[in-house]
């Protein structure tokens, strides 16, 4: 077998593969002999079918199959040995007059080659790196939320503006019949608030579902219906009160601090606020980091200029899928995927030039950190090392999880690199201002 490459231009090449009879004959003959041993053809005993008949019936299919296997194996080997950085897969060139009956077979494959380019992390225009701070207002609201969450319920005789009410929502036509607890301070409708305030256990009131709650998702929960049904629902419902409670805020004492953070880790209201500030800003950092990663990605795509073998890629997209596409469909698909492909090439270049790698030990430590943060969300603040090791071992035995965590860790390595080398300007903002600026 002889393989040669013809360079068309910087982004396109043709590989020519010459396959001789000696390359495939022994393998084809062996398979046909095995077929002969197993063949059941009327008029012949098993294993006694003439080889000429076997070749006539199966020879062409076996030949095509074996030659294709040879092509795939040797072409992949050639691309690796020649260190050719190809995009997509080699595409066989159409040969209308191809003759499988010839002893020597010649094939041609089109290649789309990855472009050569440089990546400059010092982009022309600086990218904003947001530092989100927890302000006094946010910390105060968080303290109040904690006090309310861990406070105790005190029964009341009539509804006040900050109470919690348990009762039944009903609407026969919409098949609504659901018991729920609602919080007065989460009701948006002033008319509903005025209707409820002063009511007692056993009273029934009529409420409109339109704009009832401050948050849209609360309506589906209160009425016991699917979110898609709750969206835009404009009907009157009857609410019959069964229970009225006032939530008395928890005292900011050592018992509460220990319950929140573990024994003795926080000992004063000031330390509580400091801890809330620290934890909040740590969570905010994840959001600002993701924003930074997205913005740098966009900037690098915009400023790193290179050509792609577009015609080859459109052709490859057209025929490589499960269902072949039309030329127009392939063109549209290429336009949708081009940006992602460009960043894959840019990211690969950055990873290679900066020798970024994911080692097993650091991936395991990364997994343990991820597990620990998830445990904390469910109140398990201080897991033992043996527990983390056990869960991490299970996670690392799942290849899909390993792939996902590896991608996350590589993103973190890229982010650290960008923070060190990219052209950044730091801007300190409150969380509300971050949302306005970053996502307006």
Q: Which pLDDT score is estimated for 79?
A: 95
Q: What integer pLDDT is reported at residue 220 of this predicted model? A: 94
Q: What is the pLDDT of residue 216?
A: 87
Look at residue 157 and tell me whether its pLDDT is greater than 90.
yes
- CATH 1.10.3120 location in the chain: 267-439
Out of 3.40.1180.10, 3.10.50.30, 3.10.129.10, 3.30.420.40, select the CATH number for domain 152-248: 3.10.50.30
In this prediction, residue 204 carries a pLDDT of: 96
Name the nearest CA neighbour of 197 among 164, 162, 160.
Answer: 160
The rounded Cα 25 to chain-centroid distance in angstroms is 48
CATH 3.10.50.30 residue spans of the chain: 152-248
pTM of the model: 0.72
Q: At what angle do helices 136-149 and 269-303 cross, to 10 degrees?
A: 120
Strands 127-133 and 424-430: parallel
Q: How far apart are CA 238 and CA 171, in angstroms?
A: 7
- What are the tens digits of pLDDT across the range 322-368? 888 999 999 999 999 999 999 999 999 999 999 999 999 999 999 99
pLDDT average, residue stretch 103-108: 94
State residue 378's pLDDT score: 74
Nearest to 115 by CA among 297, 298, 303, 310: 310
Tell me the C-alpha distance between 405 and 418, whole Å.
Answer: 20
Based on its alpha-carbon atoms, the radius of gyration of the chain, rounded to whole angstroms, reads: 34
**pLDDT for position 383:** 83
Are the C-beta atoms of residues 91 and 319 closer than 8 Å to each other? yes
Distance CA 258, CA 356 (A): 42
CB-count burial class (<10 Å; 0-12, 13-18, 19+) for 234? exposed
- Res. 439: pLDDT tops 90: no
Q: Which one, of 362, 375, 373, 356, lies nearest residue 402 by Cα?
A: 362
pLDDT over threshold 80, residue 377? no
pLDDT band at 320 (very low <50, low <70, confident <90, very high): confident
pLDDT of residue 42: 83
Q: Give the percent of the chain with pLDDT over 70.
A: 100
DSSP symbols for 126-165? PEEEEEEE--HHHHHHHHHHHHHHTSEEEE-SB--TT-EE
Q: Where are the alpha helices (DSSP H) in 43-93?
A: 51-54, 60-81
Model confidence band, residue 311 (pLDDT cutoffs 50, 70, 90) = very high
pLDDT of 106 reads: 94
Question: Quick one: which of 249, 155, 248, 153 has its CA closest to 200?
Answer: 155
Distance, in Å, from the CA atom of 265 to the CA atom of 272, rounded to the nearest integer, reads 10
pLDDT tens-digit map of 196-251: 999 999 999 999 999 999 998 999 999 999 999 999 899 999 999 999 999 999 99
- Sequence-separated contacts (24+) of 193-197 with Cβ below 8 Å: 193/161, 196/159, 196/165, 196/239, 197/159, 197/160, 197/161
Q: What is the 3-state secondary structure (H, E, C) of 241-261?
A: EEEEEEEECCCCCHHHHHHHH
Class of CATH domain 2-113 = alpha beta
Whether residue 440 has pLDDT greater than 80: no
The CATH code of domain 267-439 reads 1.10.3120
pLDDT of residue 270: 95
Q: Is the pLDDT of residue 269 over 80?
A: yes
56 or 381, higher pLDDT:
56
Lowest mean pLDDT among 10-24, 36-50, 347-361: 36-50
Is 49's pLDDT higher than 90?
no
Q: Per residue in 168-196, pLDDT tens?
A: 999 999 999 999 999 999 999 999 999 99
**List of residues 6+ apart from 405 with CB closer than 8 A:** 363, 366, 367, 370, 395
- Least reliable range by pLDDT among 34-43, 64-73, 276-285: 34-43
The yes-or-no verdict on residue 376 having pLDDT over 80 is no
Instruction: Say whether pLDDT at 420 is over 90.
Output: yes
Residue 45 has pLDDT above 90, yes or no: no
Residues in contact with 393: Cβ distance below 8 Å, sequence separation at least 6, in sequence order = none
Is a pLDDT exceeding 80 seen at residue 262? yes
Q: What is the mean pLDDT of the chain?
A: 93
Q: For the residues 41-65, what does the mean pLDDT come to?
A: 89
- Residue 270 corresponds to which tokens in the numbers above? 């000031």
**Average pLDDT of span 370-374:** 85
């Amino acid at each position: 077998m002889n393989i040669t490459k013809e360079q068309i231009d910087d982004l396109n090449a043709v590989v020519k593969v010459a396959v001789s009879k000696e390359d495939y004959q022994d393998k084809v003959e062996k398979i046909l002999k095995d077929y002969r041993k197993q063949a059941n053809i009327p008029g012949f005993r098993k294993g006694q079918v003439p080889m000429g008949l076997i070749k006539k019936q199966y020879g062409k299919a076996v030949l095509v199959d074996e030659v294709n296997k040879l092509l795939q194996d040797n072409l992949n080997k050639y691309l690796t040995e020649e260190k050719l950085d190809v995009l997509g897969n080699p595409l066989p060139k159409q040969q209308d007059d191809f003759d499988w009956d010839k002893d020597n077979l010649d094939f041609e494959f089109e290649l789309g080659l990855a472009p050569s380019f440089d990546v400059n992390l010092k982009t022309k225009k600086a990218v904003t790196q947001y530092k989100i701070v927890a302000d006094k207002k946010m910390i105060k609201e968080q303290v109040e939320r904690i006090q309310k969450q861990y406070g105790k319920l005190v029964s009341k005789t009539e509804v006040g503006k900050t109470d919690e009410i348990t009762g039944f929502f009903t609407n026969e036509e919409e098949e609504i019949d659901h018991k729920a607890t609602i919080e007065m301070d989460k009701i948006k409708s002033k008319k509903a608030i005025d209707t409820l305030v002063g009511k007692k256990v056993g009273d029934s009131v009529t409420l409109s579902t339109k704009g009832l709650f401050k948050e849209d998702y609360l309506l589906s929960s209160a009425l016991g219906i699917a979110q898609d049904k709750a969206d835009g629902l404009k009907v009157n419902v009857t609410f019959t009160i069964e229970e009225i409670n006032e939530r008395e805020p928890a005292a900011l004492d050592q018992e509460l601090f220990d319950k929140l953070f573990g024994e003795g880790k926080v000992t004063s209201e000031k330390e509580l606020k400091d801890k809330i500030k620290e934890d909040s800003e740590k969570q905010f950092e994840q959001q600002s980091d993701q924003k930074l990663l997205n913005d740098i990605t966009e900037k690098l795509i915009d400023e790193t200029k290179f050509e792609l073998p577009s015609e080859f890629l459109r052709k490859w997209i057209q025929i490589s899928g499960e269902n072949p596409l039309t030329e127009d469909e392939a063109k549209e698909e290429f336009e949708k995927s081009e940006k992602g492909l460009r960043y894959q090439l840019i990211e690969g270049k950055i990873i290679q030039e900066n020798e970024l790698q994911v080692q097993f030990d650091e991936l395991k430590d990364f997994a343990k950190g991820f597990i620990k943060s998830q445990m904390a969300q469910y109140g398990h603040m201080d897991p033992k090392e043996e527990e983390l090791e056990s869960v991490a071992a299970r996670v690392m035995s799942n290849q899909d999880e390993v792939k996902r965590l590896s991608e996350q860790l590589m993103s973190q390595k890229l982010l650290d690199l960008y923070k060190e080398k990219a052209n950044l300007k730091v801007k300190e903002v409150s969380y509300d201002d971050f949302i306005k600026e970053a996502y307006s």
